[in-house]
Amino acid sequence: MKARGSQPIRWGLVVLATIWMLVIVPLSAAAAPYAAMVMDARSGKVLHSRNADARLHPASLTKMMTLYIVFEAVENGEISLDDKVRISSHAASEPPSKLGLRAGQTIALRYLVRAAAVKSANDAATALGEAIEGSEAQFARRMNRTAKALGMSRTTFKNAHGLTESGHLSTAHDMTILGRSLFYDYPQYYNLFSRITADAGIRSVNHTNRRMLNSYRGADGIKTGYTRAAGFNLVASAERGGERIIATVFGGQSTASRNAKVAELLDLGFRKSPSRVAVNQPARPPYMGKMNGAPVMIAQGQDRPTFAAKTVRLAGAAAVRKSLRPQARPAPEAPVLVAAKDDIERALMAAQKVVEAEAPPAGSVTATPRITADVRPEPRPENIVLASAPSGDPIQEVVMRVSTSGGRHWGINVGRYPSQYKARQVLLQTALNEMATLDGSLRKVVKRPTGFDANFMGLTRESADLACRRLQAKKITCFMIGPG
């Protein structure tokens, strides 16, 4: 005989076993690996590391790289914060978290930046990548080039948003490097990462980690990330008394436990870091974007502005750090220097040495025209040329170097731009790309009612024609300017 009550006991055991198999085991198996790193942002010294070089799923920490490249593209004139971006069906179809973009609509780039930085919107991140490189796949390739240049040796990106994809992996170490580079390379945009709310054009969005920002003294960014495969990730930065610490966590079990762990790591960092330490800013990578639609690679200077800067308003939104780009000079009231031996020329020559290295293989997006060894700048006159203008009259032309043209009266125009700064930048980059025909010419910015013309003057007709044909072959806009 079977004991009375044995059947219910047996069924109870079956139920418990089922619960274990369906709930407890999957949850433990899905637990993401833990990794962490703490770094003194001033010196780059690692203060704590655990499993920091393990390749794990970064989730939306990926968007730090997406935004880094967007800031780079804006700084180098590839795109403007005011440019309108048309949303593709691919971007609109990205799963949450998302801004809610619709296929075919247009929206200013600045709103996509805010949505990606503050809300961690996947549709906005994809739209940013497509706006910069034309497709998300092409943008991912640029992400990987930039990651390598930053020293992120164990990172591979496959998309712009960080949703789980085979091979899309990074490390706590690499993401700490990226967070530090964002802080030093683009301080004018850094406060995006500490905005509790932001206007994203079609609606206001809230920060994904406002609890940490509100609860930890000195916290001012940077980025959260979560997927089931990744767990709860966070790269956080905080400043206290001139000390800045960056802490990264992969594989947190919940938002609350992750935030508590990051706070613990930041505290550890502040305890271990010295009050005073020499600032060792990270080396800025070369610019590997596009110039007039053509791929370029231009070495960046190593000297960097400090983070302390005045605050200004970005399109009527929350205050951001002042851009550290060169500003247009006001009209002078006395004779002004219109040509001199300036640091721009030395920077150009330094950049030439980098570009003189062997060009990448044909078809590479980083391929640049090689500058041959026999190209040398012509000697410049010792005399400095001065020009005066009546008090109050605006200067219509800005001459960037002394001409050694020897009486040549032809020139070329390489475009009209909305600012004097942009026109000057284009002249420098074009001169670097086409030294063979443009060396010795006079680089001149001419103010027009609708913008600033970027011209090279002091050429013969033959050299102007050759320069234009060579530039047009590189898909750079150019037309000749005759005498008079």
CB 377 within 8 A of CB 403: no
CA distance 67 to 143: 10
CA distance 405 to 431: 15
Name the residue with tokens 């048309």: 86
Radius of gyration, CA atoms only, the chain: 27
- State the burial class of residue 291 (Cβ atoms within 10 Å of its Cβ: 0-12, 13-18, 19+): buried
CA distance 451 to 381: 31
CB 412 within 8 A of CB 459: yes
194 is catalytic: no
60 is catalytic: yes
Cβ neighbors of 119 (< 8 A, separation 6 or more) are 97, 99, 198, 200, 205, 206, 207, 208
Q: Letter for the amino acid at 65?
A: M
Task: Point out the catalytic residue in the list 88, 98, 119, 120.
Answer: 120
63 is catalytic: yes
* Residues with active-site annotation: 60, 63, 120
